C-alpha cells in the first residue's frame, strides 16, 4: 500500500465522519427549529385570547366613556336649565320686592307720619 492509498482512505474516513457529524448537527438544528416553531405556535395560541380580551376591553371602555359623556352632557343641560329657572325666580322675586316696596313704603311713611302727628296731638292736648 502506498501513501496515496492510505491518505485516500484517511480522506474517505474523514469525509464519512464529517458527513455523520453534519447529519447529527442538522438533526439538532431541525429539532431546535421545530421547538422554536412549537413555542411560537403556543405563544400565538396564548396571545389570541389576550388580544381578543384587550379588544373587548377597549370596546367596553369606549362604550363607558361614551355613556359617561352623554350623562355629563345631560347633567350640564339639567344644571343649565336649573340655573335659568333660578335666575328667573330671582328676577321675579326682585320685581315683586321692588313692586311691594314701591307700593308699601309710601303707605308706611304716611302711616308713620300720621302716628307721629297723633302722638304730637295727644302730647300737646295733654299739656294744655
10-residue mean pLDDT series, the chain (128 residues)? 90 96 96 96 91 94 95 94 92 82 77 84 81
Structure confidence at residue 54 (pLDDT): 93
SS (H, E, C) the chain: CCHHHHHHHHHHHHHHHHHHHHHHHHHHHHHHHHHHHHHHHHHHHHHHHHHHHHHHHHHHHHHHHHHHHHHHHHHHHHHHHHHHHHHHHHHHHHHHHHHHHHHHHHHHHHHHHHHHHHHHHHHHHHHC
Structure confidence at residue 39 (pLDDT): 95
Enter the pTM of the model: 0.48
Query: For 25-42, what is each residue's pLDDT tens digit?
Result: 999 999 999 999 999 999
Structure confidence at residue 103 (pLDDT): 75
Amino acid at each position: 500500500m502506498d501513501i496515496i492509498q492510505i491518505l485516500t482512505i484517511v480522506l474517505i474516513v474523514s469525509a464519512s465522519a464529517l458527513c455523520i457529524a453534519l447529519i447529527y448537527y442538522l438533526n439538532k438544528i431541525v429539532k431546535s427549529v421545530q421547538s422554536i416553531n412549537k413555542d411560537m405556535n403556543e405563544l400565538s395560541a396564548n396571545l389570541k385570547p389576550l388580544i381578543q380580551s384587550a379588544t373587548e376591553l377597549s370596546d367596553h371602555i369606549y362604550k363607558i366613556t361614551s355613556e359617561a359623556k352623554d350623562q355629563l352632557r345631560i347633567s350640564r343641560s339639567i344644571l343649565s336649565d336649573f340655573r335659568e329657572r333660578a335666575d328667573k325666580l330671582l328676577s321675579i322675586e326682585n320685581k315683586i320686592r321692588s313692586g311691594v316696596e314701591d307700593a308699601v313704603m309710601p303707605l308706611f311713611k304716611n302711616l308713620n307720619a300720621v302716628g307721629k302727628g297723633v302722638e304730637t296731638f295727644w302730647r300737646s292736648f295733654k299739656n294744655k
